[in-house]
Amino acid sequence: MQKVSLNGQNLTIEEVVLVARQDAEVEITADAWARVQASRAFLERIAHSGKIIYAINTGFGSNASVIIDDTQTAILQTKLLLSHATGVGKPLEREAVRAMMLIRLNTLLAGYSGIRSETLTLLQALLNHKIHPVIPSQGSVGASGDLCPLSHMAIALLGEGEVRIDTPEGERTLPAREALAQAGLAPITLAYKEGIALNNGTTFMTALGVLAVFDSLKMLDTALQSVALVMEGIMARRQAFDARIHLLRRHEAQCEIAQRLQDLLVGSELFGNTPSSPTLSPTLLEGIPAWLSESTWEKLAEKKKNPQDAYSIRCTAQVLGASLHAIQHVESVLAHELNAITDNPLLFEDTEEVLSGGNFHGQPLALPLDYLKIALAEVGNLLERQVNKLVDAHHNDCLPAFLVEEAGLNSGFMIPQYVCAGLVSENKVLAHPASVDSIPTSANQEDHVSMGSISARQALEILGNVQKILSIHTLVACQAVDLRQKQLTHWGLACAMSPQTKLFYDKIRACVPYLAEDRLLYKDIEAVGKVL
């Protein structure tokens, strides 16, 4: 079994994915335990010093001026979690819950939160026993961190709320106390500061953001293979991808996209092809469709004299390079946040101070996550424009209308382009930045909030839409290549794909055949989505 070792200081995005999706076992280093114990010992000392310290012997938020009697400080933390577990909406996916649990555990291991070892041991045990709290996806404004979803996560440690466990028949939901008992675990009773340590921070938006950015990079990788097929189907002009052009722009991600497309298309007889004089057999010219006729070849040869393709082809490196740069930026922000200390107040044992601040505020993530939304939406925009170009007989360089033979009798890929258009339009709404909004909470004590949790949820939603667009884009790209090869073969011209694109093409054609005439396409779209 794979293992991930936590010390509160160097958790990576790849490790989060390992635990979230592959159920890697979680271990904790000895030095992390030492920091946790030292921080707790310091907290115990000051908690009995008679000082008024926020969230230890005071209420929370606008109730910070309410002093809590020593006999009630423990129940204060329990009430905090119970009162804040008020989420609504569809429960988070299993992988998102596991990512949240791991990131919160790592944060608390840094030794600035005063939480007890036994509390963290139980959180670790829940992960390793695959006991996953049911966490509603809506309810956080991303200000005092993700209070609502983190409270749903934390109440499972008390034996409260519901959890999901794995069974041979699939996931099963049951009361947390029952699941703990089945695993031989006992719920805890919270002590000083533990409730606020568990629910104060950016863990929800970080977890969703990590999964979104990891999948975004994978999606873009796959999209480039599909785009390379489009370049072959449309016989795109090579010069727009010349490295010298992109070096002059001085954007590394743009140069990277251009180079990767060049690499994918090495050996292609379609990319950059300028049709030479065909060797047409007279017997083949009788009763052939217009897109295979000699006049069509002449029209195509004339079109290829134009040195420039449409923007959706020629500017691919500029557009996707900008999105890649944005995704990489968000990735770097999230990599920092994985090891950030985001609860409040924070304990500084070396100077014997407890400092209240605002590290829980989600703004440092909200802005990049909105940037991610825009970057992903733009990938979808470009893919849809390429789909539209390929299905339009006026702009697809002499392929049949809607990429189907006998267009008119057949609709071909007419409606899949509609679907792409609908998804792109939906993404434009979702891409509106959530972080520009703020609604005061807690009786105006918390008078600026980030809405970063909404940014994170929307980023995943946009990504899902782009993945659907990509499935259609890939189907259309394969069909375009098939038709182009049939056309050039008929004219006796070279038409081999590059070895790289052929591998990708073969994977798609292994599950979805050429569209010779209309059939149910939703099944094809689903099948391609699974391959991708």
Cβ pair 324, 256 in contact under 8 A: yes
Q: For 296-313, what is each residue's pLDDT tens digit?
A: 888 888 888 888 999 999
Q: Domain ranges for the chain, please list them.
A: 3-201, 210-341+355-441+449-531
State whether residue 188 is helix, strand or coil: coil
**Would you place residue 448 in the very low, low, confident or very high pLDDT band (cuts 50, 70, 90)?**
confident
Q: For 76-107, what is each residue's pLDDT tens digit?
A: 899 999 999 999 999 999 999 999 999 999 99
The answer to whether domain 3-201 and domain 210-341+355-441+449-531 are alike in fold is no
Q: For 112-159, what is each residue's pLDDT tens digit?
A: 999 999 999 999 999 999 999 999 999 999 888 899 999 999 999 999
Q: Residues 46-67: what's their mean pLDDT?
A: 80
The Cα 304–Cα 288 span in angstroms is: 23
**Would you place residue 280 in the very low, low, confident or very high pLDDT band (cuts 50, 70, 90)?**
low
Q: For 310-349, what is each residue's pLDDT tens digit?
A: 999 999 999 999 999 999 999 999 999 999 999 999 999 9
* R_g (Cα) of the chain, nearest Å: 28
**Would you place residue 522 in the very low, low, confident or very high pLDDT band (cuts 50, 70, 90)?**
very high
Confidence check: pLDDT of 274 > 90: no
Confidence check: pLDDT of 443 > 90: no
Cβ pair 406, 437 in contact under 8 A: no
Q: For 155-192, what is each residue's pLDDT tens digit?
A: 999 999 999 999 988 899 999 999 999 999 999 999 98
Confidence check: pLDDT of 282 > 60: no
Select from 1.10.10.10, 1.10.275.10, 3.10.180.10, 3.40.1350.10 the CATH code of 3-201.
1.10.275.10
Please report the DSSP string for 23-65 in residue order. -PEEEE-HHHHHHHHHHHHHHHHHHTTT---TTTSB-SGGGTT
Which residue in 54, 192, 505, 514 is the catalytic one? 54
The Cα 66–Cα 58 span in angstroms is: 5
| β-bridge partners, 25 | 3
Query: Does the domain made of 210-341+355-441+449-531 have the CATH classification 2.170.190.11?
Result: no
Q: For 228-262, what is each residue's pLDDT tens digit?
A: 999 999 999 999 999 999 999 999 999 999 999 99
Share of the chain above pLDDT 70, in %: 98
Confidence check: pLDDT of 281 > 70: no
pLDDT score, position 287? 67
Tokens representing 525? Answer: 């779209």
pLDDT score, position 286? 59
pLDDT score, position 285? 53
pLDDT score, position 149? 97
Question: Does the annotation count 54 as an active-site position?
Answer: yes
